[in-house]
Amino acid sequence: MALRQHPKIQYILHCYDIGCQHGIHLRERFEKHFPDLVNQLTDFQELVPSLHIHGHIEDCQFRYNLAYHQGAARTHGENLEGIWGVQNPIGGMTKEMNKGHRHDILNDYTGDWNWLKVQQMGAFLFSAICVSFLHSLFSARSLYHGLKNSHQFAVVARTEYLAISEMFGREKVLEWSKQSRTPQLRNGEWTSVYRQPKSKGMVIVSYVKHVYSLAPTSTRPSISLPKPPCRRA
């Protein structure tokens, strides 16, 4: 196993399509089958890749989302999916093999794919830079407008941030900054600093409209704020 080859690694971030289920009783399974590796589970985090997470229930989208996990940066966890299309051509012969032979062939094929990917990475990055440069030359006008709009949005975002901070005060902002980013189970529901309470939705929409009105008219981009949901009697 990879864990045996890197015994000094303590912080492990593992992504799996059903990581929310795979992580259940993980330590107990390791104690039974891999007792020598249990100590490496101290900082073992099970998450769900960024594309697959949208097919999970709302609780999972906050508990196992890479976007909300400290230390995950902008990792999407879907890179492994790219190999399935490359492996399709060998499906015809591996389906006729026994388990051991199939395992060896898949290992060899994947190893070759990884080697070619690393070997060709320089040429790929160079071509990507060239394409990006040429594209920027032909789209200088759209790039200018994009940067201009980005600046306008940045001004509005800063105005909203300062207005909210001033309204609630420095002490409240510091209190929020100290809150844990780890999801917690409260009254049978998973809560997170990133999860908006449903009961406060209308209050937040109304306040965003108010803060938006504070921005200078000349710096407001043309955006539409969300409309409140219709309630049926």
Residue length, the chain? 233
In whole angstroms, give the CA distance from residue 167 to residue 211.
10
- In this prediction, residue 230 carries a pLDDT of 45
pLDDT band for 199, please (50, 70, 90 cuts): low
| Assigned token pair, 213 | 């009105």
Tell me which residue of 2, 46, 53 sits closest to 25, measured CA to CA: 46
CB-side exposure of 182: number of CA atoms within 13 Å?
4
Single pTM value for the model: 0.60
CB 14 within 8 A of CB 69: no
Residue type, 136: S
Mean pLDDT throughout 164-193?
84
Alpha helices in the chain (DSSP H): 2-5, 19-22, 26-33, 58-63, 83-87, 91-94, 99-119, 121-138, 140-168, 170-177, 201-214
Residue 140 has pLDDT above 70, yes or no: no
Pairing mode, if any, of strands 43-47 and 184-186?
unpaired
Q: Could you give the maximum distance between any two Cα atoms of the chain, in Å?
A: 70
In whole angstroms, give the CA distance from residue 168 to residue 183.
24
Residue 219 has pLDDT above 50, yes or no: no
Pairing mode, if any, of strands 189-191 and 184-186?
antiparallel
Mean pLDDT throughout 75-93?
83
The position carrying tokens 């070997």 is 119
- In this prediction, residue 98 carries a pLDDT of 93
CB 154 within 8 A of CB 219: no
Residue 224 has pLDDT above 60, yes or no: no
pLDDT band for 79, please (50, 70, 90 cuts): confident
DSSP 219: G
CB 16 within 8 A of CB 46: yes
